[in-house]
Chains A and B, each alone.
Chain A
Amino acid sequence: MSDRMSPQARTAARNTKVMNRFDLTSRLVARLKHEEAVIGGIGNTNFDLWAAGHRPQNFYMLGSMGLAFPIALGVALAQPKRRIFALEGDGSLLMQLGCLSTIAALKPANLSMIVMDNGVYQITGAQPTPAAAVSDIVAIALGCGLANSAWAADEEDFERLVDQALSATSPTLIGVRIDDKPGVGATRRDPVQIRERFMLGLGVREAL
Protein backbone atom coordinates (compact mmCIF):
# COMPACT_ATOMS: atom_id res chain seq x y z
CA MET A 1 0.00 0.00 0.00
CA SER A 2 1.20 3.48 -0.79
CA ASP A 3 1.70 5.81 2.14
CA ARG A 4 0.13 8.60 0.11
CA MET A 5 -3.44 9.16 1.21
CA SER A 6 -5.95 8.22 -1.43
CA PRO A 7 -8.64 10.78 -2.25
CA GLN A 8 -11.07 8.43 -0.55
CA ALA A 9 -9.07 8.53 2.65
CA ARG A 10 -8.64 12.30 2.50
CA THR A 11 -12.36 12.85 2.19
CA ALA A 12 -13.14 10.02 4.61
CA ALA A 13 -15.60 8.32 2.26
CA ARG A 14 -14.74 4.95 3.72
CA ASN A 15 -15.55 6.08 7.22
CA THR A 16 -19.03 7.21 6.37
CA LYS A 17 -22.05 5.27 7.49
CA VAL A 18 -24.35 3.87 4.84
CA MET A 19 -27.60 5.77 5.38
CA ASN A 20 -31.01 5.93 3.73
CA ARG A 21 -32.18 8.46 1.15
CA PHE A 22 -35.72 8.90 2.48
CA ASP A 23 -34.53 9.28 6.06
CA LEU A 24 -31.94 11.90 5.09
CA THR A 25 -34.38 13.77 2.85
CA SER A 26 -36.88 13.87 5.72
CA ARG A 27 -34.19 15.16 8.06
CA LEU A 28 -33.29 17.89 5.55
CA VAL A 29 -36.90 18.98 5.02
CA ALA A 30 -37.49 19.10 8.79
CA ARG A 31 -34.73 21.70 9.12
CA LEU A 32 -36.11 24.04 6.45
CA LYS A 33 -37.95 26.91 8.17
CA HIS A 34 -37.60 29.77 5.69
CA GLU A 35 -39.25 28.59 2.49
CA GLU A 36 -35.97 27.26 1.15
CA ALA A 37 -36.26 25.86 -2.38
CA VAL A 38 -35.45 22.18 -2.94
CA ILE A 39 -34.74 20.73 -6.38
CA GLY A 40 -35.11 16.95 -6.59
CA GLY A 41 -33.16 15.16 -9.33
CA ILE A 42 -34.51 12.44 -11.58
CA GLY A 43 -36.05 9.28 -10.13
CA ASN A 44 -35.63 8.16 -6.55
CA THR A 45 -34.16 11.48 -5.45
CA ASN A 46 -37.37 13.36 -6.20
CA PHE A 47 -39.60 10.42 -5.24
CA ASP A 48 -38.21 10.62 -1.71
CA LEU A 49 -38.51 14.43 -1.73
CA TRP A 50 -42.17 14.00 -2.66
CA ALA A 51 -42.62 11.30 0.01
CA ALA A 52 -41.06 13.53 2.67
CA GLY A 53 -44.11 15.77 2.30
CA HIS A 54 -44.86 18.14 -0.55
CA ARG A 55 -43.77 21.72 -0.03
CA PRO A 56 -44.66 24.63 -2.36
CA GLN A 57 -40.93 25.31 -2.78
CA ASN A 58 -40.13 21.81 -4.09
CA PHE A 59 -39.32 21.16 -7.74
CA TYR A 60 -39.40 17.62 -9.09
CA MET A 61 -37.41 16.71 -12.20
CA LEU A 62 -39.06 14.11 -14.43
CA GLY A 63 -36.27 13.75 -17.01
CA SER A 64 -33.19 15.73 -17.98
CA MET A 65 -30.94 13.47 -15.93
CA GLY A 66 -28.04 15.37 -14.40
CA LEU A 67 -29.64 18.81 -14.35
CA ALA A 68 -30.70 19.14 -10.70
CA PHE A 69 -27.64 21.24 -9.83
CA PRO A 70 -27.85 23.46 -12.94
CA ILE A 71 -31.58 24.09 -12.34
CA ALA A 72 -30.83 24.88 -8.70
CA LEU A 73 -28.03 27.23 -9.79
CA GLY A 74 -30.52 29.11 -11.97
CA VAL A 75 -32.95 29.47 -9.05
CA ALA A 76 -30.07 30.57 -6.80
CA LEU A 77 -29.01 33.27 -9.25
CA ALA A 78 -32.57 34.50 -9.68
CA GLN A 79 -33.32 34.58 -5.95
CA PRO A 80 -30.09 35.34 -4.08
CA LYS A 81 -31.92 35.90 -0.77
CA ARG A 82 -33.44 32.43 -0.72
CA ARG A 83 -31.50 29.30 0.24
CA ILE A 84 -31.60 26.60 -2.43
CA PHE A 85 -30.95 22.89 -1.88
CA ALA A 86 -30.47 20.42 -4.71
CA LEU A 87 -30.67 16.65 -4.30
CA GLU A 88 -28.85 14.57 -6.89
CA GLY A 89 -27.84 10.95 -7.31
CA ASP A 90 -24.24 9.94 -7.95
CA GLY A 91 -25.10 8.48 -11.37
CA SER A 92 -26.90 11.68 -12.34
CA LEU A 93 -24.05 13.89 -11.24
CA LEU A 94 -21.62 11.81 -13.31
CA MET A 95 -23.60 12.88 -16.37
CA GLN A 96 -22.95 16.56 -15.67
CA LEU A 97 -19.74 16.87 -13.65
CA GLY A 98 -18.89 20.08 -15.52
CA CYS A 99 -21.60 21.91 -13.60
CA LEU A 100 -19.46 21.66 -10.46
CA SER A 101 -16.85 23.90 -12.10
CA THR A 102 -19.52 26.35 -13.25
CA ILE A 103 -20.90 26.56 -9.71
CA ALA A 104 -17.42 26.87 -8.20
CA ALA A 105 -16.68 29.75 -10.58
CA LEU A 106 -19.91 31.62 -9.83
CA LYS A 107 -19.79 30.94 -6.04
CA PRO A 108 -23.51 31.30 -5.26
CA ALA A 109 -23.52 31.51 -1.46
CA ASN A 110 -27.15 30.38 -1.25
CA LEU A 111 -26.72 27.06 -3.08
CA SER A 112 -26.26 23.73 -1.29
CA MET A 113 -25.84 20.44 -3.13
CA ILE A 114 -26.49 17.01 -1.67
CA VAL A 115 -25.21 13.94 -3.51
CA MET A 116 -26.96 10.66 -2.67
CA ASP A 117 -24.25 8.13 -3.44
CA ASN A 118 -25.20 4.45 -3.59
CA GLY A 119 -22.81 3.59 -6.42
CA VAL A 120 -25.60 2.13 -8.52
CA TYR A 121 -28.30 3.07 -10.98
CA GLN A 122 -30.90 1.80 -8.51
CA ILE A 123 -33.94 2.54 -10.64
CA THR A 124 -32.75 0.62 -13.69
CA GLY A 125 -31.80 -2.53 -11.81
CA ALA A 126 -28.98 -1.45 -9.49
CA GLN A 127 -26.18 -1.74 -12.04
CA PRO A 128 -22.95 -0.19 -10.66
CA THR A 129 -21.94 3.22 -11.98
CA PRO A 130 -18.52 3.53 -13.62
CA ALA A 131 -17.44 5.55 -10.59
CA ALA A 132 -18.62 3.08 -7.98
CA ALA A 133 -15.36 1.31 -7.19
CA VAL A 134 -12.88 4.00 -8.14
CA SER A 135 -14.08 7.60 -7.77
CA ASP A 136 -14.81 9.83 -4.80
CA ILE A 137 -17.56 12.36 -5.53
CA VAL A 138 -16.52 14.74 -2.75
CA ALA A 139 -12.90 14.63 -3.91
CA ILE A 140 -14.15 15.49 -7.42
CA ALA A 141 -16.13 18.44 -6.03
CA LEU A 142 -13.08 19.66 -4.09
CA GLY A 143 -11.00 19.34 -7.23
CA CYS A 144 -13.56 21.40 -9.12
CA GLY A 145 -13.04 24.22 -6.65
CA LEU A 146 -15.95 23.65 -4.28
CA ALA A 147 -13.89 23.99 -1.12
CA ASN A 148 -16.90 23.59 1.14
CA SER A 149 -17.52 19.92 0.28
CA ALA A 150 -17.62 17.05 2.76
CA TRP A 151 -18.88 13.55 3.34
CA ALA A 152 -21.46 13.20 6.08
CA ALA A 153 -20.20 10.58 8.53
CA ASP A 154 -23.65 9.71 9.88
CA GLU A 155 -27.14 11.21 10.27
CA GLU A 156 -26.09 13.56 13.03
CA ASP A 157 -23.17 14.80 10.97
CA PHE A 158 -25.52 15.28 7.99
CA GLU A 159 -27.79 17.50 10.08
CA ARG A 160 -24.78 19.47 11.27
CA LEU A 161 -23.62 19.98 7.67
CA VAL A 162 -27.13 21.08 6.63
CA ASP A 163 -27.18 23.61 9.46
CA GLN A 164 -23.81 24.91 8.28
CA ALA A 165 -25.12 25.14 4.72
CA LEU A 166 -28.08 27.22 5.90
CA SER A 167 -25.73 30.03 6.89
CA ALA A 168 -22.82 29.40 4.52
CA THR A 169 -21.12 32.19 2.60
CA SER A 170 -20.06 29.95 -0.28
CA PRO A 171 -21.70 27.04 -2.09
CA THR A 172 -21.66 23.78 -0.16
CA LEU A 173 -21.75 20.15 -1.20
CA ILE A 174 -22.63 17.28 1.11
CA GLY A 175 -21.89 13.71 0.07
CA VAL A 176 -23.91 10.97 1.70
CA ARG A 177 -23.46 7.25 1.22
CA ILE A 178 -26.84 5.59 0.97
CA ASP A 179 -28.22 2.08 0.66
CA ASP A 180 -29.71 0.64 -2.51
CA LYS A 181 -33.36 0.99 -1.43
CA PRO A 182 -35.81 2.48 -3.94
CA GLY A 183 -37.68 5.68 -3.21
CA VAL A 184 -40.66 5.30 -0.91
CA GLY A 185 -43.14 7.43 -2.89
CA ALA A 186 -43.88 8.34 -6.47
CA THR A 187 -44.10 11.93 -7.63
CA ARG A 188 -47.26 12.83 -9.53
CA ARG A 189 -45.94 13.22 -13.05
CA ASP A 190 -47.59 16.47 -14.09
CA PRO A 191 -44.81 18.78 -15.23
CA VAL A 192 -46.91 21.89 -15.76
CA GLN A 193 -48.43 21.63 -12.29
CA ILE A 194 -45.03 20.96 -10.76
CA ARG A 195 -43.59 24.04 -12.43
CA GLU A 196 -46.55 26.30 -11.71
CA ARG A 197 -46.75 25.30 -8.03
CA PHE A 198 -43.02 25.83 -7.67
CA MET A 199 -43.31 29.34 -9.13
CA LEU A 200 -46.20 30.07 -6.75
CA GLY A 201 -44.06 28.78 -3.89
CA LEU A 202 -41.19 31.04 -4.92
CA GLY A 203 -43.47 34.08 -5.07
CA VAL A 204 -42.92 34.53 -8.80
CA ARG A 205 -46.56 33.81 -9.68
CA GLU A 206 -49.86 34.52 -8.03
CA ALA A 207 -52.59 31.90 -7.92
CA LEU A 208 -55.26 32.19 -10.61
Chain B
Amino acid sequence: MAVAEGHASPQALSASPSDASRERAWHEVVLQTLKRNDIRLVPYVPDRVLTTLIRNIHADPFFTAFPTAREEEAVGIVSGAWMGGMRGAVLMQTSGFATLANVLASLAIPYQIPLIMLVSERGTLGEFNYGQSLVCRTMRPVLDSLAMEHHTATRLDEFEFIVDRSIKQAITTQAPVALILSPLLTGGKVFEK
Protein backbone atom coordinates (compact mmCIF):
# COMPACT_ATOMS: atom_id res chain seq x y z
CA MET B 1 0.00 0.00 0.00
CA ALA B 2 2.56 2.52 -1.10
CA VAL B 3 0.00 5.28 -1.15
CA ALA B 4 2.42 7.98 -0.11
CA GLU B 5 5.04 6.89 -2.59
CA GLY B 6 2.41 6.41 -5.30
CA HIS B 7 1.71 10.11 -5.21
CA ALA B 8 5.28 11.14 -5.81
CA SER B 9 6.26 14.52 -7.12
CA PRO B 10 5.66 15.44 -10.78
CA GLN B 11 9.37 15.10 -11.45
CA ALA B 12 9.45 11.59 -10.04
CA LEU B 13 6.38 10.56 -12.03
CA SER B 14 7.96 11.66 -15.28
CA ALA B 15 10.86 9.27 -14.85
CA SER B 16 10.38 5.66 -15.82
CA PRO B 17 11.31 3.21 -13.05
CA SER B 18 13.13 1.06 -15.63
CA ASP B 19 15.27 3.96 -16.74
CA ALA B 20 18.82 3.37 -15.47
CA SER B 21 19.27 7.08 -15.00
CA ARG B 22 15.99 7.44 -13.13
CA GLU B 23 15.83 10.04 -10.44
CA ARG B 24 16.12 8.82 -6.89
CA ALA B 25 12.99 8.99 -4.76
CA TRP B 26 12.94 11.70 -2.11
CA HIS B 27 13.36 9.14 0.66
CA GLU B 28 16.47 7.73 -1.01
CA VAL B 29 17.90 11.24 -1.08
CA VAL B 30 17.24 11.62 2.66
CA LEU B 31 18.83 8.29 3.55
CA GLN B 32 21.92 8.85 1.43
CA THR B 33 22.38 12.43 2.57
CA LEU B 34 22.08 11.50 6.24
CA LYS B 35 24.69 8.82 5.64
CA ARG B 36 27.07 11.11 3.79
CA ASN B 37 26.91 13.51 6.74
CA ASP B 38 27.54 10.72 9.28
CA ILE B 39 24.12 11.04 10.87
CA ARG B 40 23.65 7.65 12.47
CA LEU B 41 21.01 8.07 15.16
CA VAL B 42 17.43 8.37 13.93
CA PRO B 43 14.70 8.35 16.58
CA TYR B 44 11.26 9.02 15.20
CA VAL B 45 7.53 9.18 15.77
CA PRO B 46 6.12 7.58 12.63
CA ASP B 47 4.10 9.13 9.85
CA ARG B 48 2.51 7.40 6.87
CA VAL B 49 4.52 9.41 4.36
CA LEU B 50 7.75 8.43 6.16
CA THR B 51 6.98 4.69 6.06
CA THR B 52 9.46 3.74 3.33
CA LEU B 53 12.18 5.98 4.70
CA ILE B 54 11.78 4.51 8.19
CA ARG B 55 11.78 0.96 6.83
CA ASN B 56 14.94 1.56 4.77
CA ILE B 57 16.75 3.27 7.65
CA HIS B 58 15.94 0.30 9.88
CA ALA B 59 17.25 -2.07 7.21
CA ASP B 60 20.60 -0.26 6.94
CA PRO B 61 23.05 -1.24 9.71
CA PHE B 62 24.72 2.17 9.41
CA PHE B 63 21.80 3.64 11.35
CA THR B 64 20.52 3.25 14.89
CA ALA B 65 16.80 3.87 14.43
CA PHE B 66 13.94 3.44 16.89
CA PRO B 67 10.52 4.87 17.71
CA THR B 68 10.00 7.16 20.69
CA ALA B 69 6.77 7.85 22.55
CA ARG B 70 6.94 11.60 21.96
CA GLU B 71 8.82 13.92 19.65
CA GLU B 72 10.40 15.89 22.47
CA GLU B 73 11.80 12.65 23.85
CA ALA B 74 13.52 12.13 20.47
CA VAL B 75 14.87 15.70 20.62
CA GLY B 76 16.35 14.98 24.06
CA ILE B 77 17.95 11.78 22.78
CA VAL B 78 19.66 13.34 19.75
CA SER B 79 20.76 16.29 21.90
CA GLY B 80 22.45 13.96 24.37
CA ALA B 81 23.95 11.91 21.56
CA TRP B 82 25.40 14.97 19.87
CA MET B 83 27.04 16.09 23.10
CA GLY B 84 28.46 12.57 23.31
CA GLY B 85 29.86 12.77 19.79
CA MET B 86 27.18 11.03 17.73
CA ARG B 87 25.08 12.85 15.16
CA GLY B 88 21.34 12.34 14.85
CA ALA B 89 18.17 13.53 13.17
CA VAL B 90 14.53 13.30 14.26
CA LEU B 91 11.69 12.28 11.95
CA MET B 92 8.16 13.44 12.74
CA GLN B 93 4.86 14.76 11.44
CA THR B 94 3.48 18.31 11.59
CA SER B 95 1.34 17.59 14.66
CA GLY B 96 4.43 16.27 16.44
CA PHE B 97 6.36 19.42 15.72
CA ALA B 98 3.56 21.31 17.46
CA THR B 99 4.59 19.66 20.75
CA LEU B 100 8.17 20.97 20.59
CA ALA B 101 8.12 24.71 21.39
CA ASN B 102 9.32 24.20 24.97
CA VAL B 103 12.22 21.88 24.15
CA LEU B 104 13.36 24.07 21.27
CA ALA B 105 13.33 27.18 23.45
CA SER B 106 14.85 25.57 26.56
CA LEU B 107 17.28 22.98 25.19
CA ALA B 108 18.16 22.97 21.50
CA ILE B 109 18.49 26.71 20.90
CA PRO B 110 20.01 28.02 24.17
CA TYR B 111 22.49 25.13 24.47
CA GLN B 112 23.40 25.59 20.77
CA ILE B 113 22.65 22.05 19.69
CA PRO B 114 22.46 21.29 15.94
CA LEU B 115 19.09 19.60 16.09
CA ILE B 116 18.10 18.31 12.65
CA MET B 117 14.38 17.72 12.17
CA LEU B 118 12.61 16.25 9.14
CA VAL B 119 8.92 17.07 9.33
CA SER B 120 6.42 15.38 7.07
CA GLU B 121 3.87 18.07 6.33
CA ARG B 122 0.25 17.24 7.01
CA GLY B 123 -2.52 19.82 6.97
CA THR B 124 -2.23 21.29 3.51
CA LEU B 125 -2.66 20.44 -0.20
CA GLY B 126 -5.41 17.91 0.21
CA GLU B 127 -5.72 17.51 3.97
CA PHE B 128 -8.89 15.69 5.06
CA ASN B 129 -8.63 16.22 8.85
CA TYR B 130 -9.48 19.74 9.97
CA GLY B 131 -7.37 19.42 13.12
CA GLN B 132 -4.30 18.65 11.01
CA SER B 133 -4.83 21.70 8.85
CA LEU B 134 -5.16 23.90 11.93
CA VAL B 135 -2.07 22.57 13.69
CA CYS B 136 -0.08 22.92 10.47
CA ARG B 137 -0.70 26.67 10.58
CA THR B 138 1.14 26.90 13.90
CA MET B 139 4.37 25.36 12.59
CA ARG B 140 5.98 28.19 10.63
CA PRO B 141 4.95 30.91 13.10
CA VAL B 142 6.64 28.89 15.88
CA LEU B 143 9.77 28.42 13.78
CA ASP B 144 9.81 32.11 12.86
CA SER B 145 9.15 33.30 16.40
CA LEU B 146 12.29 31.44 17.50
CA ALA B 147 14.18 32.71 14.43
CA MET B 148 14.93 29.11 13.47
CA GLU B 149 16.29 28.06 10.11
CA HIS B 150 13.65 26.15 8.14
CA HIS B 151 13.00 25.15 4.57
CA THR B 152 10.01 23.66 2.85
CA ALA B 153 11.12 21.11 0.26
CA THR B 154 8.72 20.92 -2.70
CA ARG B 155 10.93 19.82 -5.61
CA LEU B 156 13.05 16.72 -6.03
CA ASP B 157 15.65 18.52 -8.14
CA GLU B 158 16.43 20.92 -5.26
CA PHE B 159 16.00 18.43 -2.49
CA GLU B 160 19.49 17.00 -2.07
CA PHE B 161 20.96 20.50 -2.07
CA ILE B 162 18.54 21.63 0.63
CA VAL B 163 19.05 18.59 2.84
CA ASP B 164 22.82 18.43 2.50
CA ARG B 165 23.44 22.16 2.95
CA SER B 166 20.97 22.43 5.83
CA ILE B 167 22.63 19.58 7.72
CA LYS B 168 26.05 21.11 7.21
CA GLN B 169 24.84 24.55 8.27
CA ALA B 170 23.15 23.18 11.40
CA ILE B 171 26.35 21.43 12.45
CA THR B 172 28.77 24.25 11.68
CA THR B 173 26.60 26.99 13.19
CA GLN B 174 25.35 24.77 16.06
CA ALA B 175 21.79 25.81 15.38
CA PRO B 176 18.67 23.70 14.86
CA VAL B 177 17.04 23.31 11.46
CA ALA B 178 13.61 22.06 10.37
CA LEU B 179 13.18 20.57 6.93
CA ILE B 180 9.50 20.47 6.05
CA LEU B 181 8.64 17.81 3.49
CA SER B 182 5.77 19.21 1.43
CA PRO B 183 3.15 16.98 -0.20
CA LEU B 184 4.48 18.47 -3.46
CA LEU B 185 7.65 16.45 -2.80
CA THR B 186 6.28 13.35 -1.09
CA GLY B 187 2.73 13.05 -2.42
CA GLY B 188 1.43 13.51 1.10
CA LYS B 189 -1.28 11.43 2.68
CA VAL B 190 -4.60 11.32 0.86
CA PHE B 191 -8.13 10.45 1.95
CA GLU B 192 -8.84 6.71 1.61
CA LYS B 193 -12.37 6.50 3.03
B73 contacts A by Cβ under 8 Å: yes
A39 engages B80 (CB within 8 Å): yes
Set A67, A78, A106, A198: member contacting B107, Cβ < 8 A: A67
A74 engages B102 (CB within 8 Å): no
Docked CA distance A59–B73 (Å): 17
Set A61, A75, A76, A99: member contacting B73, Cβ < 8 A: A99
A75 engages B84 (CB within 8 Å): yes
Chain A's nearest CB lies how many Å from the CB of B73?
A: 5
A71-B110 contact in complex given A98-B69, A204-B85, C-beta closer than 8 Å: no
B185 contacts A by Cβ under 8 Å: no
A192-B73 contact in complex given A79-B84, A202-B85, C-beta closer than 8 Å: no
A128 contacts B by Cβ under 8 Å: no
* Chain A residue at minimum C-beta to C-beta distance from B66: A106
Docked CA distance A61–B78 (Å): 15
Docked CA distance A71–B84 (Å): 10
B102 engages A71 (CB within 8 Å): no
A20 contacts B by Cβ under 8 Å: no
B76 engages A67 (CB within 8 Å): yes
A102 engages B76 (CB within 8 Å): no
Residues of B within 8 A of A71 (CB): 76-77, 79-80, 83
Chain B's nearest CB lies how many Å from the CB of A124?
A: 16
List B residues at the A interface (Cβ < 8 Å).
41, 43, 64, 66-70, 72-86, 88, 102-103, 105-107, 110-113
- For the complex with contacts A74-B76, A77-B77, 19 further pairs of A-B residues with Cβ separation under 8 Å are A59-B83, A62-B106, A64-B102, A64-B107, A67-B72, A70-B80, A71-B80, A74-B77, A74-B78, A75-B83, A76-B80, A78-B84, A96-B73, A98-B70, A191-B110, A191-B111, A195-B111, A203-B85, A204-B84
For the complex of A and B, 6 pairs with smallest distance between CB atoms: A63-B106, A98-B69, A74-B80, A78-B84, A70-B76, A78-B86
